[in-house]
Structure 1
Amino acid sequence: MNQNNYVIIMAGGTGTRLWPVSTSKRPKQFHDLLGLGKSLLQMTYERFLAKFPKENIYIVTNKEYEGLIEEQIEGIDSQQLLLEPYKRNTAPCIAYAAYKIASKNPEASMVIAPADHLILKEDIFHQSIAVALDSASKKDQLITLGMHPNRPETGYGYIQYIPDSATIKKVKTFTEKPEIGLAQKFIESGDFVWNAGIFIWSAKSIIKAYEEYLPDLAEIFADGKSQYFSVNENLFVNKAYTQCVNISIDFGIMEKAENVFVLLTDIGWSDLGNWESLHEIREKDDQDNVLPKNVMSFNATGNIVTTDKSDLVVIQDLHDFLVAEQDGVILICRKNAEKEIKEIVNVVKAEKGDSFV
């Protein structure tokens, strides 16, 4: 195992598109959404533990999830748990991790990965990560993994690459979450891939990018060099985050930088961002339903049902629906109602308060 290689797992998102199972108190990364006896966070952590030194795996999350992390990742050192006092999107959290790790090991290379994604082809994933880390350790490159798209998805970033024989290809354009019309044109062009949100770079390269494109964040976290890995780190971070802009790494750096590269790969990837994507990858019965053992169905097709405490649920004449029960909340709606669920969550929060969301 290369002691210069580090992993930063981002575990601070709330995943409201999978409400009511995923809530602000217990987001989707802490749930066993695949029915495998492990949460998405645990699966992600174990995936990296197979190839990286345990002490080089860091988790960045909101401080309100500290207890959940410690409950699910047994024995993690407190110095490897980076606690954000406020939600400020991905650019600040990656800056925090990068500057902290660089203060300890300036020669570090790092993988940035969300805690809540599914990767079915782990051998290919590890091979791709190894290739990207080797390149990033030798060159000034910001590398992302690119997935071939199969639909005009508006929730992902799109990467247009320069088609050549190189294993790691130069990125021509990087567009974050386009409108549906533009996404359709990207698909039709044939030279765009999805950004999987998994990044690989050296500490030197990403810090250089922050200094050029997000200088305010660079200054904030560079000031913490003497505070990282000390008893004063939390005090410094609490103050630093009051000054941080709310911006993603995609908008803040990847869309602007000239040294962005992509490694095309097929790792069996899904971001499990909504109920429809979860239905796609879960095991289904002969009527295309995803059903727990306590659910009976009659003339029902294409549904996904998840229950928390019910001993028995019966569905009849439902087609392409979601039925989700969690902590006393039941949602019944079309399986593909991603936009509507986000709107429902906002209304529930406004009318019923935070306790249900």
Structure 2
Amino acid sequence: MNKNYYAILMAGGIGSRFWPVSTKEFPKQFHDMLGSGETLIQKTFSRLSQIIPKENILILTHESYNDLILEQLPMVKQEQIVLEPAMRNTAPCILYASLKIKKLNPNAVMVVAPSDHWIEDEMQFVANLQRSFDLCEREESLMTLGILPTAPNTGYGYIEFDKLDSRSIKKVVQFREKPDSKTARRFIQSRNYLWNAGIFMWSVKSILKAFEEFQPEMYAHFMKGFEVYNSENEHAFIQENYPKAENISIDYAIMENAQNVYVLPATFDWNDLGTWGSLHEKLPKDDNNNAVVNANVLLQNSSNNIIRTALGKQVIVDGLDDYIIVDKDSVLLIYPKSKEQEIKGIVSQLK
């Protein structure tokens, strides 16, 4: 296994659209959302370790999740967990982790990957990652994996690539925000748009050069601590300086500014598992399209529902169509799947 390969596993999100299972104290990446016997972060770590040495996988997360990670990934050492004292979006934490990696191995190439996505064909995922790493080792490229759209989805950002580029790895024209329905349909018809999965690959040299060029203040801010990274003095520096970093995503900070951005259309099935509806798509279903996790169910005149409870709980449903039914501790959620985007707002109302 190539010792120059590294990963930054993003595990700091809250997953509020999966409430009441996913909470700020115990977010979705630490749950077995699929009923597979593994949590999402465990599945992602296992997938990445097929091509990246386990000791080279850094886990970026909020400091409140440190113990959860050590519990669920016992093979991980404390020094592999990169703790954010404050949530500042993806650019600051990627820069911070990249500087730590540079100090460990200036020849590193890396993947930045979410910890809570569903990927079906892991062999193809590894093959796509290998192709990307090969390019990043040869050229000063910033790469991303794009997902071939299966529908005009308005819940994802899109990547526009050069229609005239006949190569398998395409030059990116621009990143597009989540579109409305009409725009999403136009993207699909154009046949040169991919879903943005938030999976990035680059060499440590390339990404740090990009930060220095496009985010010079942030780069200088984190470079002040370079001498103490990976040492006992790192914690004090980060506690004081990390919260001062700008709150900005890697897309806005780097990817939308750089000219050396390329996308590889992925050859694996993917789902961001961002909502109960997207989870419903990937779970086994009965003849009436009901998906059940953990519960023992008796369903009558009911279809297209997703039901999740504690293991073995008896659930009886009659006359419901296209609903989310989730029982977790002291909370019971019964909500139309068509309104699932509103769940995040409901959580904020309950605070």
- TM-score where L is the length of structure 2: 0.96
Preserved CA contact (<8 Å) 2:172 2:262:
yes
Contact 1:300–1:318 at 8 Å: present in 2 too? yes
Letter in 2 for 1:174: F
Identity %: 48
Displacement of 1:183 after TM fit?
2.6
Relative distance call for 1:347 and 1:309 in structure 2 (3 A) is farther
**2:295–2:311 CA contact under 8 A, matched in 1:** no
Provide the secondary structure at the position in 2 that maps to 1:337: helix
Give the match for residue 355 of structure 1.
none
Q: Structure 2 CA distance, aligned partners of 1:152 and 1:255?
A: 22
Letter in 2 for 1:123: M
> Secondary structure of the residue that 2:197 maps to in structure 1?
strand
1:101-139, Cα deviation, whole Å (9 max, x unpaired): 011211110000000001101111100000000101111
Residue aligning to 1:131: 131
- Is residue 52 of structure 1 aligned with residue 52 of structure 2? yes
Alignment-mate amino acid for residue 251 of structure 1 = Y
1:330 is aligned to 2:332 = yes
Q: Who is 2:261 aligned against?
A: 260
For 2:251 and 2:339, the matched residues in 1 are separated by: 26
AA aligned opposite 1:187: I
CA spacing shift, 1:178–1:218, aligned 2, 3 Å = farther
> CA separation of 1:293/1:346 partners in 2, compared to 1, >3 Å: closer, same or farther?
closer
1:339 to 338, 341, 345: 341
Matches within 5 A, 1:88-99: 88-99=88-99
Let me know the Cα RMSD of the aligned residues. Answer: 1.3
Counterpart amino acid of residue 113 in structure 1: A
Which residue number in structure 2 is paired with residue 152 of structure 1? Answer: 152
Following superposition, the deviation at residue 43 of structure 1 comes to 0.2
- Partner residue of 1:300? 302
Equivalent runs, 1:63-82 vs 2, <5 Å: 63-82=63-82
Whether contact under 8 Å (2:90, 2:250) holds in the other structure is yes
Deviation at 1:188, TM superposition (A): 2.4
Residue of structure 2 equivalent to 1:206 = 207
Match of 1:194 in 2: 195
Q: Please tell me whether residue 20 in structure 1 is matched to residue 20 in structure 2.
A: yes
Structure 2 Cα separation of the partners of residues 94 and 217 of structure 1: 11
* Higher mean C-alpha deviation, range 48-57 or range 180-189: 180-189
AA in 2 matched with 1:318:
L
1-structure distance, mates of 2:291, 2:62? 32
Read off the aligned partner of 2:215 and give its amino acid letter. Answer: L
Query: Shift in Å at residue 238 of structure 1?
Result: 1.1
Structure 2 CA distance for aligned equivalents of residues 99 and 168 of structure 1: 27
Give the direction of change, closer, same or farther, for the CA distance of 1:10–1:280 in structure 2 (3 Å limit). Answer: same
SS of corresponding position for 1:313: strand
SS at match of 2:88: coil
Q: Within 2, Cα distance between the matches of 1:310 and 1:130?
A: 42
Mapped partners of 1:5, 1:309: distance in 2: 39
- Output the amino acid matched with 1:315: V
Q: Give how far 1:320 is off.
A: 0.5
Q: Which runs of 5+ in 1 are unaligned?
A: 350-357
Report the CA distance between 1:152 and its aligned residue: 2.7
SS in 1 for 2:227: coil
Q: CA deviation at 1:184?
A: 3.0
The separation in 1 between residues aligned to 2:338 and 2:110, in whole angstroms, is: 35
- Conserved 8 A contact 2:30-2:40: yes
1:195 is paired with a residue of what secondary structure? strand
Query: How much has 1:310 moved relative to structure 2?
Result: 7.2
Shift of 1:55: 1.2
CA deviation map 1:3-39 (0-9, x unaligned): 1110110000001111111111111100000101100
Q: What is the deviation of 1:157?
A: 1.9
Q: How big is the shift at 1:309?
A: 6.7
Distance 2:180 2:220 in 1: 34
Supply the distance in 2 between the matched residues of 1:309 and 1:345 (Cα, whole angstroms): 24
Displacement after TM superposition at 1:174 (Å) = 1.2
Using the TM superposition, name which of 247-256 and 124-133 deviates more: 247-256
Residue pair 2:162, 2:172 contacting (<8 A) in 1 also: yes
* 2:14–2:23 contact (8 Å) kept in structure 1: yes
Shift of 1:293: 4.0
Determine if contact 2:2/2:52 at 8 Å carries over to the other structure: yes
Query: Which contiguous aligned blocks of 4+ residues in structure 1 show a shift greater than 4 angstroms?
Result: none
What CA distance in whole angstroms lies between the structure 2 residues aligned with 1:316 and 1:115?
A: 36
Instruction: Provide the aligned length of Structure 1 versus Structure 2.
Output: 349
Alignment deviations for residues 285-306 of structure 1 (CA, whole Å, 9 cap, x no partner) = 1110012442211110000000
Deviates most, 301-310 or 21-30: 301-310
Partner amino acid for 2:336?
Answer: R
Q: Which whole-Å CA distance do the structure 2 matches of 1:309 and 1:47 have between them?
A: 26
TM-score (norm 1): 0.95
State the Cα distance separating 1:176 from its structure 2 match: 3.1
